[in-house]
Structure 1
Amino acid sequence: MSALTLEELHAALSLRDLADPAQGPHAIQLIVDSIRTTLGRAWPYTEIWTRRDHPVVLLADNYDNLGYAAGAVTREARYTRYASATEVLRSHTSAMVPPALRELATAEASDVLLICAGICYRRDSVDWQHTGTPHQLDLWRISRNVTLGEPELVEMIERLVETVLPGQTYRTVPAVHPYTIHGRQIDVLLDDEWIEIGECGVAAPHILRKAGLDESWTGLAMGPGLDRLLMLRKGIRDIRLLRSSDPRVAEQMLDLAPYRPVSTMPPVRRDLSVVVGATADVSPEVLGDKVRDALGPDADAAESLDVLGETTYDELPPAARQRLQLIPGQRNLLVRLVLRPVDRTLTDAEANQLRDKVYRALHEGPVLELIG
């Protein structure tokens, strides 16, 4: 387990949580408000508990108390940002649920809707709909007054989609989660492509029991992605726009009206030939996180990163091996980096400097091919 440095932790916690009204208004909060209003009207006798916990949470609440296995791959440092051996930057807002359930076990309430919204911290790919700091919403209705099961889950899904994306075509497909039974993934149709907006299910009884709630309690669990919902609602095709400082964009992040595109900056493409080890993880999530770390405050300049090709030592011609000083077991990756800040045009010199930062972060060979 490799923990974040104090500087890395401070940088992560300094990033604005767009779901938190105390940090300034944002349209993401309007999405949460609309869902709260809809479910409040549908369940008038259900208490609403809104939680806004600190993003550094107990490792146990992020994983163990939600049913994740001790050896689950998601616990690895390549996917989870550890603050210490026992604490992490929450990877999902579901981490707020176990302490809320424990509180419910000692309260007098008998029917509660938990609303847990906030920023999360993940290792993720670089593309138009992913970020390492997404905003998520957890909606858990827990009751001992009524039995909550699949019929109620179907109604909850319908209310969510009709509230946030009225008229949108959607579907559900089976999904497995450690904290639900009868799990489902919710997709909506966008330009002939199904886009996931969240996952849900009936709250797993063993999760409720672990929190101290007896067999009389049942529940529903739903976790939609707030960034994705807002982008689909407004017609935004670049997740970086949600944090844009360009006044022409930022003022549009205060309502749910359709997005009005501003002038598009030209993309800058740089193809990189990098050497990686035999066991190096070159998944989009890991590479994306390395790119964001390398670019630091300029991370939003990276629009996408794609591996175009992978060649083993044995497949490379001798001349290429010699040029790269490749050794047996290493691989050569051809990576395409697309740079396009949302609010300005990069000069060639700036693009080359950013390219070199990414190159240094990905390249493991002895020969450096820098252009900046």
Structure 2
Amino acid sequence: MTTLLSPRDIEVALELRDLSDPTDGPHAMQVLLDDVLAALTHAWDCALDVQRRRPLVSVEDNYDRLGYAVADITRDARYSRYAAETVMLRSHTSAGVPPALRALAAARAADPEVDVLLALPGLCYRRDSIDRLHVGTPHQVDLWRVTTTRRLGVDDLQRMVALVVGAVLPGVRWRTSPAHHPYTTQGLQVDVCTASGWVELAECGLAAEHVLTGAGLDADRYSGLALGMGLDRALMVRKGIQDIRVLRSTDPRIAPQLLDLAPWRPVSSQPPVRRDLSIVVDAPVDAELLGDTVRTALGPAVEDLESVTVLAGTAYADLPDAARRRLGLRQDQVNVLLRLVLRPLSGTLTDQRANELRDQVYAAVHRGPHREWATR
């Protein structure tokens, strides 16, 4: 049976600020998104329809109507957040595409001519590992050009990529490689060249006929381009930010820098504080699930946690009897060495506070009968 979110989990998720939405105040992410939308609509001379849809979506729209197979691993509750058997917190902004296309089909019943850029920005909700580049609630935008004015093809897709990359990172080198998405054909992954190497910026393709026809649009008349981009990563690359936690910082040294696209000016950072934990977990070890458990356990204090890394995992059969007894390890469990790296974005971290956070994490992830850490 699918593991469901508690009402409190849903409430917390829906309370999180969407940095791409100007309703809650300005942010550099909005500036970047506006630049992308302006570049596309100016080049195409098409209409723009920005839709901000609710994060709670039907499983059908998030997966089925986009062409995901029933057995796809992404549907697993380890990676997707279900509020009910048929309702979930969207795992990607592409979940808004089927209803947006259905609305387009209904609106164009009397006037079938259309050339529009559908833009669907917002937060997505996943279970993910914790590090400087990943978070469980990333921002994304889906950009779908849908038209009856001409038949869109691969050349148009390449032009779209050039426009988006040019708006995000003017003058940067970029490349594409083949990629598969169930809702596109001729799919591509878009990488950009940065000082630290090639970084994925977006994925795109031609809008799949089954998605158009499933929404009530005649695929003989309608064609489309589809591109999805992670807004957190795009903004970090544009400004040269190395830590994703910075994007939500309210530190007075940092927050003013998050109102424009000027290069990031680093502020003094504290040295990292490391704590290693020997824990017992159920097999198989899942770094994403561990990260999500830690994030939930720490609540607001997760802002002080830079990364959680599984250093080693030792199965029951590979441990000596003395270690099994000490840990209380069952045959279906694993002894994991977990490293926490604590580094507040501002202020200092005392040893006592670091140990308190360590113990909170231990209590949340340890599944053995014996406790080896306790705050003093």
TM-score (norm 1): 0.96
Q: Distance in 2 between matches of 1:85 and 1:312?
A: 34
SS of residue paired to 1:353: helix
Q: Deviations over 1:120-154 (max 9, x none)?
A: 11111111111001000110001111111111101
260-269 vs 311-320, which moves further: 311-320
Distance 1:300 1:81 in 2: 21
Structure 1 segment 78-117 matched on structure 2, within 5 A: 78-106=78-106, 107=108, 108=111, 109-117=113-121
Letter in 2 for 1:38: A
Q: Which of the residues 336, 339, 344 maps onto 2:342?
A: 339
* Structure 1 portions without partners, runs of 5+: none
For residues 174-193 of structure 1, the aligned pairs below 5 Å read: 174-193=178-197
Rounded to whole Å, the distance in 2 between the matches of 1:39 and 1:174 is 23
Q: Distance in 2 between matches of 1:226 and 1:112?
A: 21
Match of 1:42 in 2: 43
Q: Is the 8 A contact 1:269 1:336 kept in 2?
A: yes
Measure the CA separation in 2 of the matches of 1:35 and 1:187: 17
Cα RMSD for the two superposed structures = 1.2
The structure 1 residue matched to 2:295, chosen from 292, 297, 301, is 292
Q: Partner residue of 2:11?
A: 10
| CA positional deviation for 1:6 | 1.2
Identity %: 55
Match of 2:304 among 301, 315, 318: 301
Superposition deviation, residue 96 in structure 1: 1.2
Alignment of 1:216-227 (within 5 A): 216-227=221-232
**1:254-273 equivalent positions in 2, closer than 5 A:** 254-273=259-278
Tell me how far 1:327 sits from its aligned partner: 2.7
Letter in 2 for 1:223: G
**In 1, Cα distance between the equivalents of 2:348 and 2:292?**
24
Q: Is the 8 A contact 1:19 1:28 kept in 2?
A: yes
Secondary structure of the 2:125 match is coil
Choose 261-270 or 230-239, whichever is displaced more.
Answer: 261-270
State the Cα distance separating 1:353 from its structure 2 match: 1.1
> Residues 191 and 319 (structure 1 numbering): CA distance in 2 closer, same or farther, change over 3 Å?
farther
Deviations 1:329-369 (A, max 9, x none): 32111111111121222111111111111112221111111
Moved over 3 A (4+): none
**What is the CA-CA distance between 1:171 and the residue it aligns to?**
1.5
Structure 2 partner of 1:148: 152
1:313 to 316, 319, 323: 316
Residue identity in the other structure for 1:78: R
1:66 maps to 2:66? yes
Mean Cα deviation higher: 133-142 or 324-333 = 324-333
What's the TM-score once normalised by structure 2's chain length? 0.95
- Contact kept, 8 Å, 1:273 with 1:334, in 2: the verdict is yes
Kindly indicate whether the alpha-carbon contact (under 8 Å) linking 1:244 and 1:343 is maintained by their aligned counterparts in 2. Answer: no
Going from structure 1 to structure 2, the CA distance change for 1:233 and 1:192 (only over 3 Å counts) comes to: closer
Q: Which amino acid aligns with 1:87?
A: V
Range with bigger deviation, 224-233 or 362-371: 362-371
Q: CA deviation at 1:84?
A: 1.8
Determine helix, strand or coil for the equivalent of 1:314: helix
Name the residue aligned to 1:354.
357
State the SS of the aligned residue for 2:65.
helix
Q: Distance in 2 between matches of 1:11 and 1:327?
A: 34
Return the alpha-carbon distance in structure 2 between the equivalents of residues 167 and 111 of structure 1.
Answer: 28
Residue 68 of structure 1: SS of its match in structure 2? coil
Q: Aligned with 2:276: secondary structure?
A: strand
Q: In the aligned structure 2, how far is the partner of 1:163 from the partner of 1:81?
A: 33
1:188–1:196 CA contact under 8 A, matched in 2: yes
C-alpha deviation, 1:192, in angstroms: 4.6
1:138 equivalent among 142, 145, 154: 142
Moved more, 249-258 or 102-111: 102-111
Q: Which runs of 5+ in 2 are unaligned?
A: none
- 1:365 paired to 2:356: no
What does the per-residue CA deviation read over 1:291-323, in whole Å, with 9 as the maximum and x for residues that have no partner?
101111111221111111111122212322221
| CA displacement 1:51-80 (0-9 Å, x = unmatched) | 011111121111111111122211121111
Q: How many pairs were matched up? A: 369
